Structure 1
């Protein structure tokens, strides 16, 4: 099984929506079909705020990863946040997520990205282990905070 990344385009909307629906159901994220499509479609249309990659064969993807872009003075330029990463349950444990997380920075560094960040549940030991294997590290004395608008 390959973790080949394909940059999502408008023709991938239905496939990505199906994967996002599965991820949100599994993670207990409450969202509507309309909200999911509104969150995905602009990324596939090429807005400059982020992008979505299909993981695996584009005709039958086994997962996806969404990254959003921002600017960081601390890191000296463009940075990104892994907003969502999902691998279908039936193919987990094969190193696919690790492969994707290792390939993604290589692809984005060529576009000028200086750093990639992500958020993880502090009680999800498996995810923390995965992210560490992919080169992510905990930033001492920092926590990620949010305010819904």
Structure 2
């Protein structure tokens, strides 16, 4: 399996928007091409917010992973969040997800990240199994969110 990762740049915006739209459709998340385009540009231009990585098999882009950065007293410093992680359906179940999560951990290590978080839908049992297998654990807490802007 020949999988490579390429840090996304503004020049990758077209393929990123295509992948984000596929992911949001799959996960029943809202997608607005203009808003999502603007948010992607902002993230790509400011690495203090995080990084986006394209997942490639040979020369074909087959997915992406977004790592956003924060800071946590509980975790003693910088933490990160897998904000979005998407593989096109025909590339799933081949170990690429596991390899990509290991890659994300390497990136986090290089960035001095103390803890890497992610969220998964309660119904997405396949993804839960993958995440457990590579060391992610459930918390005795719920992730709760309050939108501070109606556009979000």
Q: Same fold (TM over 0.5)?
A: yes
Secondary structure class of the residue paired with 2:123: coil
Pairing 1:19–2:19 present: yes
Q: Tell me the residue number matched to 2:116.
A: 116
Task: Write the deviation string for residues 25-69 of structure 1: whole angstroms up to 9, x where unpaired.
Answer: 111112210121122112222341111110115853100001111
Task: Write the deviation string for residues 99-138 of structure 1: whole angstroms up to 9, x where unpaired.
Answer: 1001111122111111100111122111100111222111
TM-score (normalised: structure 2): 0.90
Q: Is the 8 A contact 2:4 2:58 kept in 1?
A: no
TM-score (normalised: structure 1): 0.92
Q: Decide which structure has greater strand share.
A: 2
CA distance in 2, matches of 1:132, 1:4: 23
Pairing 1:7–2:23 present: no
Q: Pairwise mapping of residues 129-148 of structure 1 onto structure 2 (< 5 A)? A: 129-139=129-139, 141-148=140-147
Q: Is the 8 A contact 1:72 1:79 kept in 2?
A: yes
User: For this pair of structures, how many residues does the alignment match?
Assistant: 148
Structure 1, unaligned stretches of length 5 or more? none
CA distance in 2, matches of 1:108, 1:143: 24
CA distance in 2, matches of 1:28, 1:37: 18
RMSD of equivalent CA atoms: 1.5
Structure 2, unaligned stretches of length 5 or more? none
Q: Is the 8 A contact 2:78 2:113 kept in 1?
A: yes
